[in-house]
């Protein structure tokens, strides 16, 4: 992998990790076009670490409050003063974040088919094989559908609040989450981890809106929920890459460059997303993911018929 490839993929990752257009899908597209088909998983995980730095840079105040809330929660439990109904907003968010991570463990449970194959194994197979390009397109179209449902639900929530005479300066919708909310968003995140092209931020935001949560609160929850999952993925895949000898000196410079680029671009992407959500411009992402998804699906079907990658001329890879 060249420095140029790393810069391009770092830009793609930084833009698409937080905008609801699927970073995994766009990385799959860029790698498909560039013909990059080796070391993808490790490089992708490292790029996610770059965007993790962007989340911390934007949400450092909220993260600090959540850390304090976590320890006060532990203190209240130990001293017997804890009451579910008396939790502060930050303590509630901490508990909901923990619950929201539970569905991720489903990725490691063997599926009913495939001789011990897990959802995580499927994700790795689909992300590193050019023959599954059609799947990326279909998942992008699914992202467009979910975003549309989220927009419609958010509008319905706003109408409901206005009809009841409820006006809030910080937006309509619930500001405290419950267990069902957290599990629903967590399941959406787990599905997004399996299917390249299904946006994690888009699907989790949409599910939050479908549950009647305030859209800005749902977005904040989405971004913060991604922190532990990204860290866990980096540790697991980084360990595997080291054991397999995939981390070599010749790949480290492109990785470092990619991480820096994705962090800087990701920082501004978060700010852009928050602004567009506030201004109700989400339809732009609906149109984009629908169009790109259809194009990718058509290209994928064409390649399946020919048996080769139309951009590189290489035979399709299925594993």
pTM over 0.85: yes
- Report d(CA 241, CA 247) in Å as an integer: 6
Residue 107 lies inside a defined structural domain of this protein: yes
Residue 318 lies inside a defined structural domain of this protein: no
- pLDDT surpassing 70 at residue 37: no
Residue 311 lies inside a defined structural domain of this protein: no
Name the band, by pLDDT with cuts 50, 70 and 90, for residue 34.
confident
Residue 314 lies inside a defined structural domain of this protein: no
Segment 125-134 shows an average pLDDT of 77
- pLDDT surpassing 80 at residue 218: yes
Residue 317 lies inside a defined structural domain of this protein: no
- Of the candidates 195, 206, 83, the one whose C-alpha atom is nearest the C-alpha of residue 138 is 195
Tokens at 214, concatenated: 């305030």
pLDDT of residue 177: 93
Tokens at 255, concatenated: 């990785």
pLDDT tens per residue, range 172-214: 889 899 999 999 999 999 999 899 999 999 999 999 999 999 9
Residue 39 lies inside a defined structural domain of this protein: yes
Residue 52 lies inside a defined structural domain of this protein: yes
Longest dimension (CA), the chain: 67
Residue 315 lies inside a defined structural domain of this protein: no
Segment 83-90 shows an average pLDDT of 91
Cβ–Cβ < 8 Å for 229, 188:
no
- Report d(CA 10, CA 16) in Å as an integer: 10
Question: In which domain, by residue range, is 54 found?
Answer: 3-306
Q: Name residues whose C-beta falls within 8 Å of residue 201's C-beta, 6 or more positions apart in sequence.
A: 17, 18, 19, 20, 219, 222, 223, 226, 273
- Report d(CA 221, CA 8) in Å as an integer: 29
Between 178 and 48, name the one with better pLDDT: 178
Number of domains in the chain: 1
pLDDT of residue 103: 94
Q: What are phi and psi of 310, to 5 degrees?
A: -70, -15
Other beta carbons within 10 Å of 173: 22
Cβ–Cβ < 8 Å for 88, 69:
yes
Segment 275-289 shows an average pLDDT of 95
pLDDT of residue 21: 94
Tokens at 223, concatenated: 């971004």
């Amino acid at each position: 992998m060249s420095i140029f490839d790393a810069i391009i993929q770092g830009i793609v990752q930084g833009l698409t990790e937080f905008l609801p257009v699927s970073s995994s899908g766009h990385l799959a597209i860029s790698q498909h076009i560039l013909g990059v088909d080796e070391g993808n998983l490790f490089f992708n995980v490292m790029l996610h670490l770059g965007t993790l730095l962007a989340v911390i840079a934007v949400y450092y105040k909220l993260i600090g409050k959540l850390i304090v809330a976590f320890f006060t929660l532990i203190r209240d439990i130990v001293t017997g003063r804890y009451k579910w109904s008396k939790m502060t907003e930050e303590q509630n968010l901490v508990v909901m974040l923990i619950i929201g991570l539970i569905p991720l463990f489903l990725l490691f449970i063997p599926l009913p088919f495939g001789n011990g194959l897990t959802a995580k194994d499927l994700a790795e197979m689909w992300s590193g094989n050019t023959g599954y390009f059609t799947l990326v397109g279909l998942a992008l179209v699914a992202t467009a559908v979910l975003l549309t449902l989220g927009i419609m639900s958010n509008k319905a929530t706003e109408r409901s609040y206005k009809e009841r005479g409820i006006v809030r300066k910080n937006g309509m919708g619930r500001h405290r989450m419950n267990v069902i909310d957290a599990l629903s968003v967590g399941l959406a995140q787990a599905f997004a981890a399996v299917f390249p092209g299904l946006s994690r931020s888009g699907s989790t935001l949409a599910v939050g809106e479908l549950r009647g949560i305030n859209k800005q609160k749902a977005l904040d929850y989405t971004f913060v929920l991604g922190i532990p999952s990204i860290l866990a993925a980096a540790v697991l895949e980084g360990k595997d890459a080291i054991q397999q000898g995939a981390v070599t000196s010749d790949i480290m410079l492109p990785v470092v460059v990619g991480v820096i680029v994705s962090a800087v671009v990701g920082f501004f992407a978060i700010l852009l997303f928050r602004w567009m959500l506030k201004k109700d411009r989400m339809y732009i992402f609906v149109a984009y993911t629908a169009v790109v998804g259809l194009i990718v699906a058509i290209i994928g079907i064409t390649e399946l018929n020919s048996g080769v990658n139309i951009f590189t001329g290489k035979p399709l890879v299925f594993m």
